[in-house]
Amino acid sequence: MNKKRYLDIDVYTAAKQRIKNALLDFDTCAVAFSGGKDSLATLKLVDEVRKENKMPGKTKVFFRDEELIPDTVISFVQSIYESGEYEFYYYALPLKSTKYILGNTEVYVQWDKDRKHLREPPPYAITLKGDEYRVMDQYSTDDFIAREFKGSVAFFLGIRASESLNRMKMLVKKNTRTNYYFPQTKRVTTVCPLYDWTENDIFLYFYKAGIRYCGIYDQQMLNSETLRVATPLLDEAAKRFYKIRTRDPVFYQQLIDLFPEMIVQERYQHEYKPCKNSARPLTDYPPTAQGVLQMIQENITDPYKAKLARAKALSAISARETALRNEGAKVNLGGYPLLYIMEQIASGSFKRYIKTCAKNEMKPEYLAFEGVEIAV
């Protein structure tokens, strides 16, 4: 019989305790706010804990304006800034980012001074101009923001383990009181107090606390999209670039005006396959981990992509084996049916991670491939 252990507190209480620990452990704490649901919940919880413990001053919060963000999100963020409730720092910095086009990742710079911008930042935004201008990365940006603060610095992030396999592995790799502390630079440590929350926990918290969230989530739900605020050119978002046209046609046209090559990504993504040997059905391979690796070896000729595909496939298979230790996980094959993993590899959906097979994506052929007789 499998034994299960449960925390003796709920995720809401646990998150508040983690926040309190960090507020006491660091000289300065600030919330990294994106306008999204997870960072909003983090902001509200940090503010709640500070007020409950009668800590002086306003809650510190900063926003990195990544330029390629819809007006719905920008308007929501600016409403938080203009409310005056927080000590709010608004940044619009030149930052390296990437765009995904048919399997290739290219670098572009947010707020690049040498091209037209999608829009202009608000007058109160902290920017780099003239001799100060330089292109930054994630770590140099963290240090740049931290210069506003004294002593040891903690940035609260709304990262949750249930969002992806990579995040789950990062957030549960330690088993200590501070398994939600992650040193980033010499001065900055990121703190993830909501790492064990689910999406349902987030919206339940909003409902009970009467918190207004960004309207883009209602738009995404009606448009059958993943509920996430992210730049639209990143790999996973770019594969659903066509969704922007139906949800926000003005924003879509602004993006196309700046990056017309995204039309190619939108138009041909469904045809793109990194595998050379599409004639052989995936079901011809053995229904084993070795069969998945054989499929990669025979089909992906680029050495870098083949190495990456193997690493992501093995990571997914490891998560599958862990899940399958629970008898109930056999219903969905641990969230990673072997045929599903091969399909993700064949479609090129493995650059960052292979996402878990959702319940509505489970197909009878996944079970049949592995000889599992369980009704879906």
DSSP code string of 15-36: HHHHHHHHHHHSSEEEEEE-SS
Residue 44 has pLDDT above 80, yes or no: yes
Pairing of strands 95-101, 188-191: unpaired
Highest mean pLDDT among 89-98, 236-245, 320-329: 89-98
What is the C-alpha R_g of the chain?
Answer: 22
Considering the entire predicted model, what is its pTM? 0.75
Mean pLDDT of 68-90: 96
- The range of the structural domain enclosing residue 260 comes to 230-271
Same domain, 239 and 146: no
Same domain, 248 and 145: no
- Strand segments, DSSP code E, in the chain are 28-33, 60-64, 87-91, 95-101, 104-110, 153-156, 181-183, 188-191
Q: Is residue 54 part of a domain?
A: yes
The predicted pLDDT at position 82 comes to 95
Mean pLDDT of 184-195: 90
Same domain, 292 and 189: no
Residue 324 has pLDDT above 50, yes or no: yes
Residue 94 has pLDDT above 60, yes or no: yes
Q: Is residue 277 part of a domain?
A: no
Q: Is residue 222 part of a domain?
A: no
Same domain, 102 and 177: yes
Same domain, 56 and 165: yes
Q: Is residue 63 part of a domain?
A: yes
Contacts 24+ apart (CB under 8 A), 289-293: 289/314, 289/317, 289/338, 291/338, 291/342, 292/317, 292/338, 292/341, 292/342, 292/345
Cα distance from N-terminal residue to C-terminal residue, the chain: 25
Residue 49 has pLDDT above 70, yes or no: yes
The predicted pLDDT at position 4 comes to 41
Residue 154 has pLDDT above 80, yes or no: yes
Mean pLDDT of 65-84: 96
Instruction: Give the end of a domain, one of 218, 240, 271.
Output: 271
Confidence of residue 163 (pLDDT cuts 50, 70, 90): low
Same domain, 266 and 295: no
Residue 103 has pLDDT above 60, yes or no: yes
Same domain, 163 and 194: yes
Any idea of the CA torsion for 376, 275, 228, 262, to the nearest 10 degrees? -140
Instruction: Give the end of a domain, one of 271, 293, 320.
Output: 271
The predicted pLDDT at position 117 comes to 96
What would the two tokens of residue 61 be? 């919060």
Lowest-pLDDT choice from 12-21, 60-69, 134-143, 166-175? 166-175
Q: Is residue 221 part of a domain?
A: no
- Contact yes or no for 186/141 (Cβ under 8 A): no
Q: Is residue 44 part of a domain?
A: yes
Domains identified in the chain, total number: 3
The predicted pLDDT at position 5 comes to 43
Mean pLDDT of 16-43: 96
What would the two tokens of residue 222 be? 């009606």
The predicted pLDDT at position 170 comes to 52
Same domain, 301 and 255: no
Distance, in Å, from the CA atom of 273 to the CA atom of 278, rounded to the nearest integer, reads 8
Mean pLDDT of 317-321: 89
Percent of the chain with pLDDT over 90: 56
Mean pLDDT of 222-243: 87
Mean pLDDT of 234-263: 92
Same domain, 201 and 115: yes
Residue 83 has pLDDT above 70, yes or no: yes
Lowest-pLDDT choice from 90-99, 169-178, 200-209? 169-178
Residue 172 has pLDDT above 60, yes or no: no
Average model confidence (pLDDT) across the chain = 87
Q: Is residue 317 part of a domain?
A: yes
Same domain, 19 and 135: yes
Mean pLDDT of 3-30: 84
Distance, in Å, from the CA atom of 274 to the CA atom of 272, rounded to the nearest integer, reads 7
Residue 369 has pLDDT above 50, yes or no: yes
Same domain, 140 and 21: yes
Same domain, 249 and 110: no
Q: Is residue 130 part of a domain?
A: yes
C-beta neighbour count of 292 within 10 angstroms: 25
Q: For residue 345, give the H/E element and its range.
A: helix 338-346
Confidence of residue 279 (pLDDT cuts 50, 70, 90): low
The predicted pLDDT at position 121 comes to 95
